[in-house]
Amino acid sequence: MTTVFEGEVPGTAPIPAHSALLVYRLGGGETPATFEIMTGHARNECSGPSHEKRALACFVAHDALARLFEWTPDKADQSPFHLTSELRAIALAILEAPMDGPPRETYRVGKSIELLCETMRALREGWLVPVVPGNALSPADSRRLVAVRRIIDERWADRLTLESLARASGMNRAKLTRGFRALYHCTVTEAISERRLMEARRALRTTDLPVSSIGYASGYLNNASFTRAFGRRFGVSPSEYRGYASAA
């Protein structure tokens, strides 16, 4: 991390060569809190309102992002994301560091590293929701959909249904179905299946549990349905995949 600055983010800002610009806008009132990551030259349309005062930005070297987080520049210059409450709290702590002098700088450096690590983790895990053009989804609905995705990520082994997820999110089934597809480009059922299969693949690679036990733990009621789903997703059966992984 080379530079951190706060306050008004200019509409057009040159970005140092081989660096990425991470911008956190804290929002307030009717203005949503957002995050975006850019390379090259920060454009007016990417930078949002020039009057935004509650903002934090930092430059991070490409090689540091690649080495620590396997991030590459082609993943930048996407639509802004809604900023989660957790990330916003860290950014706010940086802006409102509760001390002066050298301790303040040490505190801010530490919190900035925490913010970077948590941001990249959220990007990798798919927890950040893009700001949908045309305000098709409100920030509140977007947060509800993020919560649904987090339930899927954390409770993938449970008997999740569209009805139970709709109740948990406070949305009706139709709105949940439409919104989830708009944000994640897949259905709720597809997201659940993908999460379970990825966990099953990890278990096949890292444990000696029987294939049938892994399938059951991954939410499949019998070995046949698990084998079919795994084969459709990865092109080989669970037993074949374990053999390939062991030989590697």
Q: What is the CA radius of gyration of the chain?
A: 21
Provide the Cα torsion 116, 121, 126, 128; round to 10°.
-30
Specify the pTM.
0.53
Using DSSP, state whether 165 is helix, strand or coil. Answer: helix
DSSP state of 133: G
Contact of 73 with 14, CB cutoff 8 Å: no
pLDDT tens for each residue of 146-171: 889 889 988 988 889 999 999 999 99
Strand 81-82 vs strand 55-61: parallel, antiparallel, or unpaired? unpaired
What pLDDT score was predicted for residue 171?
93
- Residue closest to 139 by CA, chosen among 213, 28, 230: 28
How far is residue 115's CA from residue 122's CA, in Å, rounded to a whole number? Answer: 10
pLDDT tens for each residue of 191-214: 999 899 999 999 999 999 999 999
How far is residue 98's CA from residue 92's CA, in Å, rounded to a whole number? Answer: 11
What pLDDT score was predicted for residue 44?
38
pLDDT tens for each residue of 133-145: 655 677 788 888 8
